[in-house]
Amino acid sequence: MTTRAIRRWFVVHKWTSLVCTLFLLIVCATGLPLLFSEQIWETFVGDDDPPYEVLPPGTPNASLDTIVNKARALYPGQIVTNVSPDDDEPAVLVSMAPSWQALKDDDKYPDRHSGHWIKFDARTAKVLKQSRPADAPEEPRTWTGIIMGICTRLHVSLFAYLPGRLFLGLMGGVFVASLVSGMVLYGRFMKRLPFGSVRRDRASRLTWLDLHNLLGAVTLVWATVVGFTGLVNELQTPLFGLWRVTDVRQILKPYADLHVPAQDHLSSVQAAFDTAAKAAPGNEVTGLSFPGASFGSPVHYVLWTRGATPLRARLFTPVLVDARTGELTGAYPMPWYLRFLEISRPLHFGDYGGMPLRILWALLDVVVIFVLVSGLVLWVAKRKIATDARLRALGYDLDDTDRVMPAGSALAHLEARR
């Protein structure tokens, strides 16, 4: 590697690291509580759901039509928007809203929520719990809810919604560039030293530098994966938007001018679930959206199905069922870029391996925080030194790049120049 190449890699690593460090510290710090959000809620807020009724084993579930009709009876002036069976419990979540227009208005004002939900026992169709409707008195917020809400919005968008998402996605790409450039420099620097050397008998700055380099190299693969998948996740809004204006628009074009029928004239919800299960063999149906949804058809149930195995659990296939007749319209696998997005999510959040993997993700997160802080400390301490002097202090002999200068000589040379 030539002297010019070393200088260029060093400058790339320095500035990419500096540009993204502050934002990555925010993302890493807020990501720690989000890894254990379920446990935090259970510990500080608890579960106020009533216990499930004890029934004989093998008790069949109630018809989804019965559950939907009960939801409508509770709120006769509202519409049902979604029906979602729970993955882990014998429960069904029914989402409702005053109207489709109210939900569209919510998209313009993210802090406003017109919809609410009702949780039913899937076997008895009894109400277990409800969220607060929009016209109900506001419930006091807990400190846990406030703190977790702040962490979530900082981690996802820095409170800046879509611009914040895109900006953090850019920072994820810059972070990956800093990792690659740092590994190139570390490989060159460690050419004449055993891998993982930490020189504790030298100046304290050298010890910090060696720890920074070593921990950066150890977490390189994990940090690259998390950084890249974080970038992909931040692009979910434009990627889904691209899908809607291309594939979805073509599929729904014949129905675009039709009116949304009244919900009491629609076909059976239970039958739509059964039809979707047959249309996507090997998949399980995870939810149903009613006609009129902003991303759906004015006359179709949109049912989401996913693979039943761990490897395919993140691959979703939407199925359209005509809500007027109950007939299948078609199953439409999602494009490759959305499948890539869905696969990247568990790699970013570490939520596919249970608590052991979450603990590992948390430990690696803490190590990356140390790498970021140590890099910032090293830069602040030596920010007035020229690039060539820093490279010589790192062990590079810029006059003969095939020979690595001993670290002690390099530091002596640096002190002499100061």
Residue 361 in any domain: the answer is yes
Residue 278 lies in a domain: no
Which residues fall within 8 angstroms of residue 100, CB to CB, at 6 or more apart?
79, 81, 260, 292, 293, 294
Are residues 164 and 31 part of one domain?
yes
171 and 32 within one domain: yes
Least Cα distance to 278 among 226, 235, 331 occurs for: 331
| pLDDT higher than threshold 80 for residue 92 | yes
Buried b (16+ CB within 10 A) or exposed e, 177-215: bbbebbbbbbebbbeeeeeeeeeeeeeeebebbbebbbb
% pLDDT > 70, the chain? 83
Q: Is residue 308 part of a domain?
A: no
Residue of higher predicted confidence among 205 and 361: 361
What pLDDT band is residue 282 in, cutting at 50, 70 and 90?
confident
Q: Which amino acid is at 32?
A: L
4 vs 174, higher pLDDT: 174
Do 82 and 124 reside in the same domain of the chain? yes
Residues 158, 149 contacting (CB under 8 angstroms): no
Same domain, 165 and 129: no
Choosing from 141, 167, 186, the residue where a domain stops is 141
Q: Which helix (H) or strand (E) holds 320?
A: strand 316-322
Question: Mean pLDDT highest for which of 149-153, 193-197, 379-383?
Answer: 149-153
Same domain, 137 and 167: no
Better-scored residue on pLDDT, 90 or 109: 90
Based on the fold, state whether residues 116 and 158 are members of the same structural domain.
no
Q: Identify the domain boundary among 110, 141, 172.
A: 141
Give the pLDDT score at 406: 40
- The pLDDT score that the predictor gives to residue 128 is 92
* Average pLDDT taken over every residue of the chain: 83
Element (H, E) at 330: strand 328-331
The helices-and-strands tally (H runs, E runs) of the chain is 15, 8
Look at residue 206 and tell me if it is in a domain.
yes
Give a yes or no: residue 265 inside a domain: no
Res 402: pLDDT: 42
Q: Going along 106-245, which residue ranges are E strands?
A: 116-121, 127-130
Asked if the structure places residue 253 within a domain, the reply is no
User: Does residue 155 contact residue 31 with C-beta atoms inside 8 Å?
Assistant: yes
Residues 212 and 361 in one domain: yes
My answer on whether 116 and 162 are in the same domain is no
Counted domains in the chain = 2
114 plus 164 within the same structural domain: no
Owning domain of residue 209: 3-37+153-218+356-417
Q: What is the average per-residue pLDDT within 155-179?
A: 92
H-type helices in 244-386, by residue range? 249-252, 269-279, 336-349, 354-381
CB 178 within 8 A of CB 379: no
Q: Could you tell me if residue 175 is inside a domain?
A: yes
Both 134 and 161 in one domain: the answer is no
Say yes or no: 68 and 131 in one domain: yes
| 173 and 32 co-located in one domain | yes
Highest mean pLDDT among 39-48, 71-80, 211-220: 71-80
Q: Amino acid identity, residue 6?
A: I
Strand ranges, E, within 34-148: 79-85, 91-97, 116-121, 127-130
For residue 339, is it within any domain?
A: no
The CATH number for 70's domain is 3.10.450
Domain final residue pick, 141, 173, 197 = 141
Q: Please enumerate in sequence order all residues whose Cβ is within 8 A of that of 256, keeping only pairs 6 or more positions apart, or say none.
A: 298
